Structure 1
Amino acid sequence: MKNHIKDFIGMIPYSAELFWAVRGSRRPWSAHYRLGGIKDVLTQSVHDVQRYAKQNAHPKKVFIFASLHYWIEQAGLIALALAGQGHKVQLSYLPFAEWDKDINRFDVRRQDLYTQDLFKPLRNVIGVIPLLPDLLRYYRWDESEYPAELVKIAKKVSRYDAMYTKQIEEIGEDDELYTFRLRRNLPTALALQRVFEREKPDVVIIPNGTILEMGVAYQVARAMGIETVTFEFADQRERIWIAQNDEIMSHDTTALWQGLGGGDLPDKARQAMVELFSARKGARLWGDFARQWQQNPSQGASAVREALGLDERPIALLPTNVLGDSLTLGRERITPTMADMIVGTIKHFIEHPEAQLVIRVHPGELKVHGTSMLDVIRENFKTLSENIHIVKPADKTNTYDLVEIADLGIVFTTTVGMEMAMAGIPVIVTGKTHYANKGFTHEPADWQAYTKLLKEVVADPAAYRLSEKQIEQVWLYAYLFFFEYSLPFPWHLLWLAEDFKERPMSVVLSAQGQKRYGQTFGYLVGEPLDWRARGLARLNELTSNNSAPESDNG
């Protein structure tokens, strides 16, 4: 009832503004939506931009859009930094704290006013465009009132939103979350289209670019032919991923490989890879990487063979992805879903007991609430034949021990496929992943070709093992992906306040800061990212002082 009342009040013109003027701006802000991470640094940052801003002979008109408070904080600092590069920058936002829950009009308008109030200092150096008034103007439009192209975009992104949130691979248009996301994404699409038409930006910069309002922004900008850059944060401190005119989460490394593939792997790069994968296998953090890939240290091949009851028949290892993970959205290739691929593969091995299948269900499922691959398997098979072995997410089995005993790898998109190829194991890729089609994996065109290839590899695994040249190229590719594909960047989303304290705007805009980060900010506004010209830019950083494992959390 309270939300209905607030929604009604929120429809009254100037009701939220009057409340904010009389009471709201004077009360401590207690909403979940808050911009506390940058609140105390904006004024000084604006002064730094005014003081250190470069003169740019060819400034671009840059439009940055974000939704959700943590992305808005990040976008605000990027906007200021780009203004410091001499560009004409506009920052636009939607003041939401949650993407899966509705909010009444009165409260969302208060959040917008809170943001506008906090962003007042920014207006001295950039333009600030609140998008909420336009969204609310179109919010109650019927679907038929929107341009067909925008409806198509909103439906695609809403489907991804629901799949990502529920961590499932299929969603119906009658799903409650899907309909909610569509109700928000449709007016977002129209509001963005109108503002792009009005402002005519040279380049649009968007976090992620696949899901939520940011996914809508990417699709609308590209449909309008606007140069678009998407970004996300790598699992390393002080590094960012950037994609130009593409969704960054697709991790399209084609240009990277064309520019830097085919050569020899330098000794320093090889040593870095050896140390990194030793840490991954040993369940340790390493260097600037903030992710621990395994929870359990290696126990060795013999131990895992005994634990699973494996015999001498060939072993196929199928490590799964987490259902609905953003790295799996839209990555289907030979089957409608990853689950279909896994179910079909189990059926194939039930019919072909001459080999063993080990399915390693992703340990990341322990941290999510969606459908488990275990549920999918149980729903489709009352019992499994003796040659099928399931390693559950909570099982204390190190994935790299499984790699050590595998004769064949089967993957959807997981990076474990690349790591199996690094060990010389033949890998069949069934989805769309960044390391496919690089010359060291197999990509069957359809299901018939897939099952034919399975039979052939199982019949003679040794004949399909990678050559020394192929293994060398996998190692080179892995180095490029883990170390060169991410770019230097001062402020990581996960440690924004801490990073900004260490590297404030004055440092980033200084000569030293520009030397380290200037190129990355250039790529963000669409300057060509020439991987060949960059070369192995990070190689000189890989010294013995900073490449040793940081800690042992195994």
Structure 2
Amino acid sequence: REPLCDVCVQRGSAFSELGLSIHFYSQYLTQIDHDEICEIVRSVPPEKIPSYRYEGLPVGEHAYAGCLRYYSTGTLEDQYLSNDVLKRYFEAALGTTKVMLRLTSHHDFEAACFHHGIYIPQGVVGEVCRSKGIRVSTWNTAYRERCFVFSHEDTYHHTLLDEPVSAWKDMTFTDRHDQEIRQYIESRWLGSQDWIYFHDTPDDSLDTLVQETGVDIAKPIIGMLTNVMWDAQLHYRQNAFPGMLDWILETVEYFRQQPNLQLLIRVHPAELRGIQASRQFVVDEIRKAYSELPANVFVIPPGSNINTYAAMLRCNCVLIYGTKTGVELTSMGIPVIVAGEAWIRNKGLTIDVTSREEYQQVLKRLPLAESRLTEQQVREARKYAYHFFLRRMIPINSIVPTPEEKIPFKVSIESLEKLLPGIDEGLDLVCDGIMNGTPYIYRSEEK
């Protein structure tokens, strides 16, 4: 059996060459700690783990999200050994919490920067740091090639939702910037400027859409875009539903009773083509509830080459839960209704609902009388899209893609001089943000 620690220890050893202090869990956990953790894990029932708090911190939520990610499902129901695996994640979460509480008590940290900001251990690390008043920065790969998203204080899953409109509302946005973001959004149909994309040969033919799905373009079509079931399953206060599946099934049921409307569901291609393929599929879940799909509900499966954007352009409006595609759709003038944690929420550009009752009232308005946004609304949507894709996604020159490798990028520098201030503007911005708390906004509009 391959030792479990080898990979992390090997990567961490790179820091020892720089003469930096490396802290190990074993330095901060005693046998008494281990015994206490084991007793908590033994005594807390699996169904209570997601809501469990330790020292006031939501460690159970992060353990549960990490376990869902491990199984690549949106629920642990009927998953082999799921209770045992969840308890192992819970144990790791508790251990990380104790380590971080002790580490931050022994050392005076001013700032912390780490990947993602959710799951185990990063989510718990962030919770402890924030509780201690330590400035937190989190990062993740962005869609655009050689770009990264950094956020202050919390995971970008939350900060991009709560980012104040003032961060982009008053930015310079000329016809040149409008053309620039339009060209980038068009490039996303093929993924030509991205290192995260899901189709090599997307098909935008209307004939293909009709032949594969059976949808009738002469009748009103309402689009629906799903997410991968397991991704970033953290509680967010503005979600109208407990989870995406509840939203999907309630929507299908509504349309079943509305034969004059058509629902066109585009299942996220990442169910099959993501870095971590899903093990719970939207189509299967719908079939569990409906042995036969309602006659006015049509599905584009995850493996289909039908172009998502082209399909949604045929719709009166689009229903979304957490997909970032709402940013592009509003930029194309398509009205979007948001029921979950999509990043386009709270920008004044979409119809945002926060409860089941509110969602039902919005559905009763379909098809929308105005099937396209106004010219001014589209201009504002493109301004936000510019901010989202070209300002929040920070280019780092020393990072190069490695598409054939398991890790899709690497650091490529000839000497440490390439890392000096003034050489790489994006890297300078990131360093300034970590050290001084300045905004993680790359001002492309000034270039």
CA distance in 1: counterparts of 2:57 and 2:161, whole angstroms: 27
Secondary structure in structure 2 of the residue aligned to 1:462 = coil
Secondary structure in structure 2 of the residue aligned to 1:141 = helix
Q: Based on CA coordinates, which of the two structures has the bigger radius of gyration?
A: 1
Structure 1 residues 237 and 388 mapped into 2: Cα distance closer, same or farther (>3 Å)? Answer: closer
Structure 1 residues 516 and 329 mapped into 2: Cα distance closer, same or farther (>3 Å)? Answer: closer
Name the structure 1 match of 2:48: none
Name the structure 2 match of 1:330: 235
Name the structure 2 match of 1:141: 36
| Structure 1 residue identity aligned to 2:265 | I
2:303 aligned with 1:394: yes
Name the structure 2 match of 1:198: 106
| Structure 1 residue identity aligned to 2:34 | Y
Alignment of 1:526-545 (within 5 A): 526-529=436-439, 537-539=443-445
Secondary structure in structure 2 of the residue aligned to 1:177 = helix
Secondary structure in structure 1 of the residue aligned to 2:223 = strand
2:91 aligned with 1:183: yes
Selected match of 1:313 from 214, 219, 233 = 219
2:132 aligned with 1:224: yes
Name the structure 1 match of 2:25: 131
Name the structure 1 match of 2:261: 355
With structure 2 as the length reference, what TM-score do the two structures score? 0.85
Report the CA distance between 1:432 and its aligned residue.
Answer: 1.7
Selected match of 1:169 from 36, 58, 74 = 74
Structure 1 residues 178 and 480 mapped into 2: Cα distance closer, same or farther (>3 Å)? Answer: same
| Structure 2 residue identity aligned to 1:258 | S
Secondary structure in structure 1 of the residue aligned to 2:114 = strand
Deviations 1:400-424 (A, max 9, x none): 2211211010000112222222222
2:347 aligned with 1:453: no
For the 8 Å contact 2:116–2:140, the answer to whether it is kept is: yes
Report the CA distance between 1:526 and its aligned residue.
Answer: 4.0
Name the structure 1 match of 2:47: none
CA distance in 1: counterparts of 2:231 and 2:413, whole angstroms: 32
Structure 1 residues 354 and 130 mapped into 2: Cα distance closer, same or farther (>3 Å)? Answer: same
CA distance in 2: counterparts of 1:117 and 1:238, whole angstroms: 25
Report the CA distance between 1:334 and its aligned residue.
Answer: 1.0
Name the structure 1 match of 2:393: 486
For the 8 Å contact 1:319–1:360, the answer to whether it is kept is: yes
Deviations 1:394-449 (A, max 9, x none): 12311122112110100001122222222222211000222112111001231122
2:63 aligned with 1:158: yes
| Structure 2 residue identity aligned to 1:512 | I
Structure 1 residues 274 and 175 mapped into 2: Cα distance closer, same or farther (>3 Å)? Answer: same
Q: Answer 1 or 2: which has greater helix percent.
A: 1
For the 8 Å contact 2:111–2:435, the answer to whether it is kept is: yes
Structure 1 residues 143 and 266 mapped into 2: Cα distance closer, same or farther (>3 Å)? Answer: farther
For the 8 Å contact 2:316–2:371, the answer to whether it is kept is: no
Name the structure 1 match of 2:339: 430
For the 8 Å contact 2:222–2:261, the answer to whether it is kept is: yes
Between the aligned residues of both structures, percent identity stands at: 20
Report the CA distance between 1:244 and its aligned residue.
Answer: 1.1
Secondary structure in structure 1 of the residue aligned to 2:188 = helix
Name the structure 2 match of 1:83: none
Secondary structure in structure 2 of the residue aligned to 1:383 = coil
Moved more, 504-513 or 143-152: 143-152
Alignment of 1:225-240 (within 5 A): 225-240=133-148
Report the CA distance between 1:176 and its aligned residue.
Answer: 2.0
Structure 1 residues 381 and 501 mapped into 2: Cα distance closer, same or farther (>3 Å)? Answer: same
Tell me the number of residue pairs that the alignment of Structure 1 and Structure 2 aligns: 424
Report the CA distance between 1:188 and its aligned residue.
Answer: 1.2
| Structure 1 residue identity aligned to 2:381 | V
Name the structure 1 match of 2:119: 211
Name the structure 1 match of 2:313: 404
For the 8 Å contact 2:215–2:264, the answer to whether it is kept is: no
Secondary structure in structure 2 of the residue aligned to 1:343 = helix
Secondary structure in structure 2 of the residue aligned to 1:453 = helix
